[in-house]
Amino acid sequence: MRAPPFFIEGDGVNASHEFMAFLNAVEVPAAHLLAEFMSIQESGSIDDIPVTDRTRVEGMYCRHLDDWVVFYIAEQKSSCLIGIVYVGSLNPHSYKALEIEAESRLKEWRGGL
């Protein structure tokens, strides 16, 4: 059975709510991305993540769909585990501003590493 990715949550942060807003706004492409993540988790590896999804932040990836950006992490254990860090709209925010927020959340989630 395919498991969905996990969503990073914390003080005032809820990536699952952001992903739902993204799903409502973009619908089919968002559903396809979720299915892709689930497929990678079920039978894939980090090698299945497109190289174009890499960001300047070590271990963090992003996918652009319409005017939205989904930042995520992937860890390879016995299988690949994907976590949604941040989902944001490029309207009115810049990619750089969204990436900085995603990096900040990831650092906080990892314990300030």
Domain ranges in the chain are 6-109
First-residue to last-residue Cα distance in the chain:
33
pLDDT of residue 112: 58
Q: Which class is domain 6-109?
A: alpha beta
pLDDT of residue 32: 92
Quick: pLDDT tens for 44-84: 889 999 999 999 998 899 999 989 999 999 988 888 899 99
User: Phi/psi at 83 (nearest 5 deg)?
Assistant: -125, 135
- For residue 59, give every residue at least 6 positions away whose Cβ sits within 8 Å of its Cβ, in sequence order, or none: 73, 74, 106
Kindly report, residue by residue over 83-100, the tens digit of the pLDDT: 999 999 999 999 999 999
- The fraction of the chain above a pLDDT of 70, given in percent, is 96
**pLDDT at 45 (0 to 100):** 87
